[in-house]
Amino acid sequence: MEQTLYEKVGGEEAIAKVVDYFYNKLVLKDDTVNTFFLNTDIEKQRRHQTKFISFALGGPKQYSGKSMAKAHEGMNIQPAHFDTIATHLHDALAHYGVAESDIETALTKVASLRDDILYK
């Protein structure tokens, strides 16, 4: 039986490390996107993001947050912002040794949400 991407990456514990790196080393230090998180409970955001990415990578269906459109309502995220976040996710996954082909699979899933996130 073939492993899910979630299992290949190392499960929720490994994804939590990726998410921590994603926020601490990349997103929150990037002035082009960090303003979206100024009024965000970042610990809560990390928990949600870990569950969401776990689900998106084929893990247990545990994400129960708002829809992507609802979660990004009023943010007016532009294509450049979305692309920057996707690049940071790529770099965080690569930092933890995830294979490029697996990163591309993950980013394809993220890209499928683009229309639910942009311009809301």
* Distance, CA of 114 to CA of 69 (rounded, Å): 10
| Position 20 in a domain | yes
Q: Determine contact, residues 107/89, Cβ cutoff 8 Å.
A: yes
Q: Is residue 50 part of a domain?
A: yes
Question: What does the pLDDT read at residue 61?
Answer: 66
Q: Determine the 3-state secondary structure of 102 from DSSP.
A: helix
Sign of CA dihedral 54, 114, 106, 40: negative
Does the annotation list 48 as a binding residue? yes
Counted domains in the chain: 1
Any idea what the CATH number is for the domain that residue 59 is in?
1.10.490.10
Is there a domain that residue 10 lies in?
A: yes
Residue 88 annotated as part of some ligand binding site? no
How far apart are alpha carbons 28 and 13 in whole angstroms?
21
* Per-residue pLDDT of the chain in tens (120 residues, 90 and over written 9): 788 889 999 998 999 999 999 999 999 999 999 999 999 999 999 998 898 888 878 888 666 677 888 888 888 999 999 999 999 999 999 999 999 999 999 999 889 989 999 987
pTM of the model: 0.90
Which structural domain range is residue 57 located in? 6-117
Residue 1 lies in a domain: no
Question: Are the C-beta atoms of 49 and 42 separated by less than 8 Å?
Answer: no
Q: Which pLDDT belongs to residue 36?
A: 94
